[in-house]
Amino acid sequence: MVSAAGASWPGRPVALALAAISQPVASMPQSHHPYDALTPDVVIDSVESVGLWSDARIFPLNSYENRVYQVGIEGAEPLIAKFYRPGRWTDAQILEEHAFAHELVAAEIPVVAPLAFDGQTLMEHQGFRFALFPRRGGRQVELDNFDHLEQVGTMLGRIHAVGAARAFEHRPALTLQHFAIDSRDFILEGDFLPPENRSAYESVTAHIIEQIAPLFDQPWRQLRLHGDCHAGNFLWRDDTPWFVDLDDCLTGPAIQDIWMLISGSRDEQTAYLDTVIEGYETFTPFDPRELQLVEPLRCLRQMHHAAWLARRWQDPAFPMAFPWFNTPRFWAEHILALREQQAALREPPLTLGAV
């Protein structure tokens, strides 16, 4: 999960949030997280292990799931070094992500793809798997700009046309089990919820899962997707949206890559949606029945995000970056947001061309 909100891919540097990668923080409980061993020397040695020569300038960028750095290269443009979180993906899953990125580039779609060294895009050094990417400058896409939205929709249509050509073999699928049920179970089985919030969380999540389960049992068309299409994962460069960070690419229905692009009132959402789909259908058709999934997918994201923070809480970067998590106030607000989502599920789904 890498933001691209800053001036260079993959994101705006947030040194505070990632300071824990190289030194302990006195106010934070000490841990033995695998990233503790990813020191600046290991970062430089990893980059140089592929035959490059670093100028020893390293700048951490704001990726929390992985560790990502801008690394200076002697006599050349800096590169982006991405160190994959140990234990999250298999080699086959990462290589399939890389292959998908290169397939999109071959189709002349603006995607930042990993560089190959001796034919390899995934390298390993001192126990850390990593990939190197070209640095790309740009600014964040404006999702309230209809011109930007239409172009994003056009590029998504092209991505999905490529994504429909074959199936992933190793990447995960978007399922109710993984994103909702497993997330709920992890929270309930862990020591996260204050006693006064446990019953409310247990009840609202159970009702949401029961309410949306029939929709996820339907045989939606399955595609290879970007998987995490929020504004932070685009760069606006050369009057074109560039897609970055395929770390969460997966198999699922097309709407998963569309719904996060729309927000606001119902009329605003409909106008934005119409614009995205107008661009999208230049290259591939969209099944409007998938609009039934917008609010259920929003529920899944909310539940999964809370569980993601809980699963990563032993990583020192997370308490520094998300100090508000795991507080009574957070859980009360999370439960309130889920109740609001439960109400949204009872509303009619969005429709195209309704404004």
Annotated binding site: 233, 245
CA distance 196 to 22: 38
Say how far apart CA 197 and CA 332 lie, in whole Å.
7
The CA distance from 169 to 96, in Å, is 8
Half-sphere exposure of 83 (CA within 13 A, CB side): 29
Alpha-carbon dihedral sign for residues 219, 351, 251, 299: negative
Instruction: Point out the catalytic residue in the list 228, 247, 248, 274.
Output: 228
b/e string for 279-298 if b means 16 or more Cβ within 10 A? bbeebbebeeebbbbbbbbb
SS3 state at 129 = strand
DSSP codes of every residue in 206-263? HHHHHHHHHHHTS----EEE-S--SGGGEEEETTEEEE---TT-EEE-GGGGTGGG--
Q: Catalytic annotation on 228?
A: yes
Q: How many CB atoms lie within 10 A of CB 33?
A: 18
Q: Phi, psi at residue 260, to the nearest 5°?
A: -75, -10
Alpha carbon 9 to chain centroid, angstroms: 14
Q: What is the DSSP letter of 79?
A: E
Beta partners for residue 250, in sequence order:
225
Decide if 131 contacts 101 (C-beta within 8 A). Answer: no
The answer to whether the beta carbons of residues 208 and 345 sit under 8 Å apart is yes
Question: What distance separates the 2 farthest-apart alpha carbons in the chain?
Answer: 60
Write the DSSP symbol of residue 64. S
Feature table: binding site for Mg(2+): 233, 245
What single-letter amino acid sits at 51? G
245 assigned to active site:
yes
Instruction: Choose the catalytic residue: 147, 182, 245, 287.
Output: 245
Residue positions annotated with a catalytic role: 228, 245
